[in-house]
Structures are given as structure tokens and as C-alpha cells.
Amino acid sequence: MKVLIAGGGTGGHLYPGIALAEEVVTRHHANQVVFVGTERGLEARVVPREGYPLETIRAQGLKGKGLLGLLKGLLVLPLAFIESFKILRKHMPDVVVGVGGYSSGPVVLAAALLGIPTAVQEQNALPGLTNKVLGRFARVVFTAFAGAGAFFPSRKVQLVGNPIRRKLMDNFLLAHVAHDTFSLLVFGGSLGARGINQRMLDALEHLGDLKGQLRIVHQTGKKDLETVRQGYASRGFEAQVVEFIDDMSSAYAEASLVVCRAGATTLSELMVAKKASILIPFPFATDDHQAVNAQEMVSAGAALMFRESELTGQKLAAEIRRLKDEPERLRQMEKKAGLLGRPEAAKELADVLVDLMVKKYGPDGRAVERGEDPRPKKPAPKKTEGNGKPTDGNEKQA
């Protein structure tokens, strides 16, 4: 099976695609995955590093870009379609999956026009514009949150969760250890989050009596690294303050409570890792989709959510203290998070892709498309001599 995965731009779109690719290629040595993205997106750096081929097209966003940005996006759209058709004809994939992002739209639409089975994977509770449009053309729409299904034709929707990278899940199980101290994990995404960084420093002013009882790991991003380090030191707190956490598996495994944004991939990881969390949605996310994501967790009893504009250091400190002092409440939040988790998402998604391929090409791959009978071939009957004994056809004639 050959799968083409289109989209990216951000980790939230890209990493579920990487997780799906891992599942596909580990099923059979002959399976292949090709990614399509843009030269500006995160995929340009990550996909080659992960060992997958990457094709690029000249796609740009249309929503929220202003009049000039909208015109530029519309102008390059015909080029993006032409490039998409060329890539599809070059690789001839069995199935195409759109994971959101600028490049997803032209590729999935082109694939649908060519009659290639298509699917859309929506990571958020509130779908983006691209996936809303593609949902009308794709044969299947995979969702991670129940609320997202309302934006697509119900007959196409399959609630499977967000695929999680195999490495993260495997390492999480190996790294799981218990600590006597209350462990707090704070991060704001791969680039950090100034709002979260500042709120956490402000919260330290109200947590002074817990200095010896808290173990803190804080990912700051590059810009705030030294400021946050000095902030902890000046307040007398010992903390592991880093620009970026490479081993998120261990970070999750050791955490008693997580303070973070509410991106779809982050929430899926919290669910699979069964972690209680305080969520601070990114206030400038498109259509405020992080707040919608977070609300799904809150409604399930798995997390607390605070708007960044309304959250003070004092309020954050009070919630951290309350959860530390109420271990049973914390356990209940962990349990609820685990019930939302779907560690088999990548497997379930890949199973459906196989079904799409079989429906299109038959059980023997492209046999149907070639006009051949896809059923297993029966062995040719052996020739027999006059006495009825089988022969391999190489005996000399009398």
C-alpha cells in the first residue's frame, strides 16, 4: 500500500501524520508513505529527518490573511493544483490523507478528481476551513473529538482520536516512575509561551511555602529561557528550566500535574498519558479552537481551563495548591483523561485506509484497476500421463 499524506505547517497538523506513517510502514516492508507540504512549513525540516520523502507545492493560507494575503493565496492556487496533479501522477498513491494545513486542500481535491480514495484527519474539536471544505469531497473524515463530527456529513465521520507517535507511547511506558514530591510540568508548545511563562513566575510568589515540596520542569522556548531561569532563582525555587524538552515521554511520566496550552496533539498526549492538567488556550488560535478543545477536556472532568487574559499568578498558584492537597481529585482527573485517550488511533485509521484501498482496487491491490480478477489464483493442474500419474511436463515422450 502506498499512502500520500498532505498537509502540515504546524506540529498539530504534522505529527498525527507522522504517527500514521509509522503505523503504515511497520505493517509491511513494501508499504510506502510520501508527504506533501510547503517549503515554509514545519514539515520541510521534520519529514526528511523522520526518513520519509517530501514533495512541496506553492500553497498559501486564505483565511485571516487580510485582503493582500487573500489575493496572493488565490493567485497561487492554480499553481498548487497543477503541482498536486503532477505529484499524484508521479507517485500514484493508493490512498490520500489530508491532515490540515495549506497544502492539504489542493492535494486532496486533486486526488478526489482523479478518483483516488481520499480521507481527512481533523485533530481539533473545531475544524479548520480547509478540512470543512475537504469533508464534502473526502470519502472518510477521521475526528479526534466528538464535537467535530457535527461539521461533516455524519455518514463519513469516524471518531478514532489523534494518532500518537509510537516513540512517545513506548518510551512513556518505560519511563513511568513515581516521585515522593509533587511534580509540575509546564510548557507552551515547541516555541514556548510567554503568557504561560509569566503566569508561572507570578504564581511562585504565592507558593513560597511549598519550595521543598514541588519538583518543577519548565519548557520556556528560546526567547524566555534566561528570564525564566533567573525568575526561579531569584524566588528561591529549584527547577529544571529548559528551552525545549526532547524526551516528552519521560516528562509526562514524571508529572503529577501539567500546565500547558490546548493544542490538539498536546491534549491527545495528555489523554494517552492519563495526566491531569491546567489548560491555558492560546488566545490567538484561529477561531479560538484551542478553547473549544480545552472545553471538551473540562466537560469530561479531565482538566481545568483558564483564559490567559483572566488568569493571574495568584489564581494559578491557588489551583496548583488545591490539586496538590486533593490527591483523590487529581486521581479522578487522571482517570477521566485516560477514558478519553485513544492509543490505538493510528492503527484504527490505517485499518480504514486499507478498506478504502480494497473497495477501490480489490483485495489484490491494483488488480481491479488493471482489469484483472483480484481473487487468489488457483494453482494450474498438473499434467498426467496416460496411466494417470502426475508429471511435471518435462518427461521425455515415448
Q: Does 342 belong to an annotated binding site?
A: no
Q: Does 10 belong to an annotated binding site?
A: yes
Q: Does 313 belong to an annotated binding site?
A: no
What's the 3-state SS for 320-354? HHHHHHCHHHHHHHHHHHHHHCCCCHHHHHHHHHH
256, 182 in Cβ contact below 8 A? yes
174, 163 in Cβ contact below 8 A? no
Spatial CB neighbours of 217, under 8 Å, sequence gap ≥ 6? 183, 184, 185, 186, 239, 240, 242, 245, 251, 254, 255
Please report where in the chains the cell 481529585 appears, as a residue: 329
Q: Does 165 belong to an annotated binding site?
A: yes
Spatial CB neighbours of 230, under 8 Å, sequence gap ≥ 6? none
> CB-side exposure of 224: number of CA atoms within 13 Å?
24
CA distances from 2 to 29, 69, 103, 265 (A): 11, 35, 19, 25
Q: Does 56 belong to an annotated binding site?
A: no
Q: Does 5 belong to an annotated binding site?
A: no
Residue 328 corresponds to which cell in the numbers above?
483523590
Q: Does 190 belong to an annotated binding site?
A: yes
DSSP 210: G
Residues contributing to the annotated binding site for UDP-N-acetyl-alpha-D-glucosamine: 10-12, 124, 165, 190, 245, 290
The annotation places the binding site at 10-12, 124, 165, 190, 245, 290
